[in-house]
Amino acid sequence: MYGIGVVYFITVAASMRAIQTANCYHIEGYNAACTHGNITTYMLMYGAVQIVASLIPNFHSIDWLSVIPAIMSFVYSLVGFVLGLANVMCISTKNGKLKGSVPGIQVDTQAKKVWLIFEAFGNIAYAYPYSLLLLEIQIRLSDTLNSPPAENKTMKKASMIAISLTTFFYYRCACFGYAAFGNNTPGNILTGFNEPYWLIGIANACVILHLVGDIRYSAVFAFVESWFANFSKCGLMNIIKLPLLPPLELSLFRLLFRTAYVASTTAVAILFTYFNHILAIYFPVEMCFVQKNVETWTRKWIALRAFSFFCLIISIVGLIGSVEGLISAKLKG
């Protein structure tokens, strides 16, 4: 979850700069030197907003926060898909030759090719963070569901629908994006388009609204604060009575911990502003066998263990490729 928070900072900053860049090119032309400040400024702005949002009581439980990110993600995914398709159709009409190739990016050494493949595996693994999504769903279900259907059935249905829709858009955006940009395809596909500038602005604004309202690390906050309350043997909240005003609930630990957590993700994002490399740093969570009492060495046990081992291997090679990419990018920068 910490890594996802870092990626959010980089994505929002890139989207904010992409909006200004697209507007600049539209007004001044594509030969203009459109540079709009350091990306660090955008990250600091987003960090300030996230600190305020993380301190709002029960912010993650607000009903409309679940609806708005879903709508926003659908809008910018659809825009990315449509723009990629439009560019491919335009290229096909002009010369009938699409960009990209089967071998992919040309590199100097075979070792570099291996690092890029490892990193690509990590990116794909990050795109399907099942364990984190299931944790978020289960936290929400435990707060809202008190009657049938059972949690496991609801989670399975929600997961299948979400995975099917995201896979549909992943494939369309990836295929048409690569056909349009070839080996120069950006990590964030929306940053590769400049026209129509108003549509690019809407799509990137949707990305920003989505990530501002998606407090992905709320589960971390809940876990740490619950542990602290039990460990310290005192209540997390302190009630301060003010004259002529209603009692004010304040938690010094919550204020300090949440602020420090968001500030640390901001610092890491500023140090490593490389979208694709950060994406690949992802660790899988071991699935729990206890809930369904899966017996040892049964077909289901073997299949789940094999799947878990496969995810572990993908995560290891993804981590290796990502770390190598981060170091190389930092040295070049």
pLDDT of residue 278: 54
Q: Are 153 and 141 in contact (CB under 8 A)?
A: no
pTM of the model: 0.69
DSSP per-residue codes, 238-260: EEE--TTS--EEE-HHHHHHHHH
What are the pLDDT digits (tens) for 234-287? 555 565 665 666 665 667 778 888 889 889 988 887 776 665 555 554 444 344
**Any idea which residue has 């249905």 for tokens?**
157
List, for residues 138-158, the tens digit of each pLDDT value: 555 555 545 556 666 766 777
Tokens of 187: 């990590």
- What are the distances in angstroms from CA 83 to CA 128, 188, 287, 294, 314? 24, 13, 38, 47, 31
How far is CA 107 from its chain centroid? 28
Determine the average pLDDT of the residues in 166-172.
Answer: 82
Statement: residue 328 has pLDDT above 80: no
Paired strand residues for 249: 239
Sign of CA dihedral 108, 268, 213, 44: negative
Tens of pLDDT along 72-130? 888 888 888 888 888 888 876 666 677 767 677 777 778 778 877 777 777 777 676 65
Render the burial of 274-287: b for 16+ CB within 10 Å, e for the rest: bbbbbbbbbebeeb
Position 135 pLDDT exceeds 60: no
pLDDT of residue 133: 56
**Where is 13: in which H helix or E strand?**
helix 2-28
Instruction: Give the C-alpha separation, 255 to 111, whole Å.
Output: 46
Q: Which pLDDT score is estimated for 138? A: 56
For 274, the token pair is 């490389």
Question: Could you tell me the end-to-end alpha-carbon distance of the chain, in angstroms, rounded to an integer?
Answer: 27
Domain ranges of the chain: 2-115+151-270
pLDDT of residue 284: 41
Residue 233: predicted pLDDT: 59
Dist CA 197 CA 20 (whole Å) = 10
Strand 238-240 and strand 248-250: the pairing is: antiparallel
Q: Are 321 and 122 in contact (CB under 8 A)?
A: yes
Residue 285 has what pLDDT?
39
At residue 22 the predicted structure's pLDDT band, cuts being 50, 70 and 90, is confident
Return d(Cα 197, Cα 200) in angstroms, integer: 5
Which residue intervals of 55-188 are DSSP H helices?
A: 64-94, 110-127, 130-144, 151-181
8-state DSSP, 59: G
The segment with the largest mean pLDDT, out of 44-48, 129-133, 216-220, 309-313, is 44-48
Listed as own residue / partner, the contacts of 181-187 with beta carbons closer than 8 Å and 24 or more positions apart are 181/87, 181/99, 181/100, 182/99, 182/100, 182/101, 183/99, 183/100, 183/101, 183/104, 183/105, 183/106, 184/99, 185/100, 186/275, 187/275, 187/276, 187/279
